Amino acid sequence: MANMMEMMKQVKQVKKMQKALAARTLEHESRDGLVRVVVSGDMCVKRVAIDPQALEENRRGTLEKTLASTVNGALDAMKKAAAEDMSKMTGGLGGLSGLLGG
């Protein structure tokens, strides 16, 4: 019975961590500074900002590549930040931290 109570406590802690991560945001900018992407901890793109200079017709292909690269960079950065946060938060959860990517 004590193990069940401990598991329920850990599930509550995991849900709390997931909620905290989902509320977190991170901004990532392209190397040329023309595209900025904001992602949340639940890996959703929240906002994309494109400098008007990047919208020139002859730059369409470049903009598409830059946008994809910046979105991927933002998501990668958030994954790393989330993994660090989870590692810190799960330090006291024993074997559960390994299951959460910590």
Quote the domain boundaries for residue 65: 25-90
Question: pTM of the prediction?
Answer: 0.70
> Which residues 6+ apart lie within 8 Å of 97 measured at CB?
86, 87, 90, 91
pLDDT category, 1, cuts 50, 70, 90?
Answer: low
> Rounded to an integer, what distance in angstroms lies between the CA atom of residue 96 and that of residue 14?
9
pLDDT value at residue 21: 81
pLDDT category, 87, cuts 50, 70, 90?
Answer: confident
The reply to whether 53 falls in a domain is yes
- Number of domains within the chain: 1
3-class DSSP assignment, residue 37: strand
The answer to whether residues 100 and 86 touch, using CB atoms and an 8 Å cutoff, is yes
The reply to whether 9 falls in a domain is no
What pLDDT, in 10s, does the model give residues 24-69?
Answer: 999 999 999 999 999 999 899 999 999 998 887 678 888 999 999 9
